[in-house]
Amino acid sequence: MSTVSNTPANASPRRSTDVAEFLKAIHPDGVYEIRIFETPDKKGGSFKATASGYYNDADAAASHVRQWSRVEPPGIYVTINPVDDSLLARSANKIVFRAKHATADGDIQRRRWIFIDIDPVRPSGISATKEESDAAVAKCREIYDWLKGRDWPEPIRAMSGNGTYLFYRVDLPNDNESEKLVQSFINAVADRFTDEFVDIDRKVFNASRVAKIGGTWARKGENLAGIDGIEDRPHRQSVFVTPETIETVERDLIQSVIDETAAQKPGGTLTFDAPQSLSANVSQSPESVKPIASNQLRCQRYVDRIDGAIEGQSGSSQTLKVACVIARFGLDESLGWPIMQTFNQRCQPPWDEKDLRRKLQEGIKKVCEEGVFGKFDGEPSPSDPSEANKENRGPYFKLIGAAELANGDFKLNYLIPGIIAERQPLIIAGQFKSLKTSIALEVALSLASGTKFLGRFEIPEKKRVLVLTAESGMATVQESCLRIAKSHFFDLAGLEGMFTVTDRVPRLASLDHVGELGQILRDGQFDVVIADPAYLMIEGEQAGNLFSMGEQLRVFSEMAAGANCTPVLVHHAKKNNVNASEFQPLELVDIAWAGFAEFARQWLLLSRQGRYVEGSGEHRLWMSVGGSAGHNGCWGLDIAEGHPDDEGGRRWDVTVSNASESRELAEQRKEEAKESKKRKANEKNAQKLRDAFIGVGRNGLTKSDAFDRAGLSHGVAGKNALAFLIGDDVLESCQVKKANGQEYDGYRLTTKERERADREEKENADLLSQMS
C-alpha cells in the first residue's frame, strides 16, 4: 500500500458539500467528463436531454455544476477515472446541452478508483425515505469496517442523496484483466452484503463508470414531504468525507477479498480437511462445475416433496434427513440454510433457529464423513435419506406409447401465428441500436391488447405479459409504451392486469431472485415473461463456456415452464458478424455468447438494412424469424420514430414488407443514394468550374486551362462538370486567342451568367465595405 502524493491540500476528515473539493479529491490531475442525464434546458422545462462537458479545471467545473443545478436535473455525475486528454477537445471546460458523445470504456487512461455503490431497495424513480437512507448508511459502515479489518486504507465516503458511496484509490491499467479483477471484487462485496433492504450495485465495475458529484442534489421523483399518511421522500444534497491521506489499495488486497469470499461460496466439487472443518475447493473445469442456482433449485424442489417433521414421530430423524439431502446436493451451510427454513415451515412444531442450524451442521458433517458430499444425482439411492418419502413423489419420466403418440392431442399453439410459438424459449436478438427493446415492447403490448403485431400479424388471443427491463430506465420505457399504444389505437392504462413491467431482472445465480420471479409468474398467472437484457441476468465470466451458460439459461426456462409461461430473452448479436456488416438479415449463429443459440427453440433477429442517419429517427431493419416448430420468414421493417422536437413528440410508425420487396427497395435506395452522391459531386465540380471563369471576361478559357484553374481532372470529373454547365446555359463556346496570336476552341460565361456574376461580385464588395 502506498500513499498518494497528490492528495488535495484542502482535504479533511469532515462532512463537506464543496463541489470543487470533491472533484479535486477524485481527480487531482487529468481530464474528466461531467455528465447530466435527462436534464431540462431550463427550470421546469419539458424537453430533456443529456448535457456533458470535459474538464481539467475543477474550479471552472464546480462553477458550471452550480449553474446547471439551478435547472434541477435528477443528478449530476462525473467519470471516476481519468479520460484521454484529447477528449477535452469535445467541449473544453464547458457543458454542452444535447451532447452527442460520452466517454466509453476505451477512453479511460487508467483505473484510479474502485467504486462501491450502496443503494436502498425501493421502487425505481423515487427518492428514499429516512429509514431506507439510514439502512444504506448502516450498510456502508458495515462494509467500511469489514474492509478496514482487512487492512484496507481510508476511502472517500459519500452520502449520494439516497444511498452511499465508497471510493477506494487504486492504480490499475485499463485492460481486461483489471476489469475482471474489479468486477470480481464488486461481486464478492455484493454477495456478502446485499440483503432485502440494501442492494450493492454489481454493474459499477466498468472503467467509464460515473458517480454523483459530492455536494450536488439527488432529485429522483417528486420532492415528497408533509403529506399526511405518506412517508417523506425528499430530495437531498449529497455530502462526502475525504480522509487526510489517500492511500492506494494494492492488487493483493483486492484479490484477497475475492479469494476469501470464493472460499466461503462453494461452486462445484467440495472437499473437507476434517469432519469439523468445511472448506470449499472450487474447480474451474466445466465438467465439475454447475451453477449454484441450478443446484439450489433442484435441491429446493426435492426437499419440497419431503413431509415436514412431526414431534413424537421421528421428527428429529426426518430433519436430519433433509440436512443430509442438502449436503449431498453440494450446498454448504450458507446456501442450504434458506432451504432448511422453508422445510421448517412444514414442521410441527417448527424448530427454533439455533437447533435447526445445528441439525444442518450435523447433516453436513455426517455426509462428509460418508464421502458423498456434493455427489447427489437428483434421484434417490439405497442410502438416500429421503428414500422413505419415495411414495409421495410423482414419476420423473412420463412414458408415451406409439398409439398415444399417434392419436394424442399434442397441438402446437401460436402466440403470433408464424412468428412466436407458445411455451417455447424465444430469443429476440440484434445488433447495436436495432430497436431490440422497442420490438420486445411491441411484442408485449400486441399480445396484451390483442392488436396486430407491427400492424400486420394477427393475435389469436390476448395474453398476460410481464416485462422485466433493466437497461433503458422507466422514463424511456414509459415513453416507448405510450408511443406504441398510440400507434395501435388503445389506451395504455386500459391494459391494467394484462401488461406489467418492472425495472429489474433476476440474477440467475440467485435462488432468491429465481424463486421470487417464479412465484410472481404463478401468482399473476402470466402467459409470457420477457427479460431484457439477458447479459445482466447471467454470470458472464464464462460467456464462451457452453456448459456453464447452458445451465444458467436452463434455470430461466425451467422457472417459466413451471409457471406455464413462454420465456423470452432479449440479447445482442456478435459485434463482428458478416451479415450485420453487409446489412443482411441475421442468422442464428450470429447470436453472441455460447449457449444462447442452443437455448433458443425459436428466434426473432433484427439487423439494419443500411447505416442509420444520425438524428433522422428513421430505421430500416431486417426481421428474420424461425423456430424448431418449423415456422420461418423474413420481413423488412421501416420504422419512423421521429425526434422529440417534432410536433407531438416521437412516434411509432411501422411499415412491414416481405423480404423480396424489401430487397428491391433496398437496392433502389442504394442506387438512388449512388446517383445522389454522383449528382452532388457533379454540382460541386460544376461550381468550381463556373468560378474559374469569373473575372476572365469575354475572351474565355480553353478547356484545358479551365480544368487546371478549377483544380479538376481532365477526365470524367472535368468533362461531366463542363457538360453540366453547357446544358444549364452557364457556358457557351468561343474562340480563345492566346499570347502567341493563335486561336483555340474554348468556353466563356454566357451573357446572362456574366451579368449574374458581376452582380454577385458587387454585392460582395458592398458587404466588405460595410464590414470595414
Task: Please report the DSSP string for 488-544 in residue order.
Answer: TT--GGGGTTTEEEES----TT-HHHHHHHHHHHHHHT-SEEEEE-GGGTS-GGGTT
pLDDT for residue 281 = 29
Beta strand pairing call for 499-502 and 465-469: parallel
pLDDT for residue 380 = 39
3-state secondary structure of 301: helix
Cβ–Cβ under 8 Å, residues 19 and 214 = yes
Options 2.60.40.10, 1.25.40.10, 3.40.50.300, 3.20.20.70; CATH of 423-605: 3.40.50.300
Which fold is adopted by the domain 2-220+236-257? DNA primase, PRIM domain (3.90.920)
What are the distances in angstroms from CA 490 to CA 60, 457, 458, 495? Answer: 50, 17, 16, 9
Asked whether the whole model's pTM tops 0.85, one would answer: no
Residue 286: partners with Cβ closer than 8 Å, 6 or more residues away: 542, 545, 546, 547, 548
3-state secondary structure of 136: helix
Q: Taking the CB of residue 330, how many other CB atoms lie within 10 A of it?
A: 24
pLDDT tens digits, 503-525:
999 988 776 788 789 889 988 99
pLDDT tens digits, 78-91:
999 999 999 999 99
Average pLDDT along the chain, 772 residues, taken 10 residues at a time = 46 76 95 92 83 94 93 94 94 91 91 95 87 91 92 94 95 93 93 88 92 94 83 92 92 90 50 26 32 64 81 84 84 82 84 88 80 49 36 61 85 92 95 91 97 96 95 89 96 95 86 82 93 83 62 84 92 83 87 84 93 86 92 93 87 90 72 80 90 85 92 90 91 90 91 85 72 56
Q: Which helix (H) or strand (E) holds 435?
A: none
Cβ–Cβ under 8 Å, residues 591 and 535 = no
3-state secondary structure of 270: coil
Cβ–Cβ under 8 Å, residues 258 and 188 = yes
> Domain ranges in the chain?
2-220+236-257, 271-392, 423-605, 669-771
pLDDT tens digits, 387-413:
333 444 445 577 888 988 888 887 889
Distance from chain centroid for Cα 214: 26
Which fold is adopted by the domain 669-771? Arc Repressor Mutant, subunit A (1.10.10)
> Is omega for the bond preceding 286 within 30 degrees of 0, making it cis?
no
∠137-143-145 over CA atoms, to 5°? 100
Cβ–Cβ under 8 Å, residues 566 and 423 = yes
Distance from chain centroid for Cα 257: 27
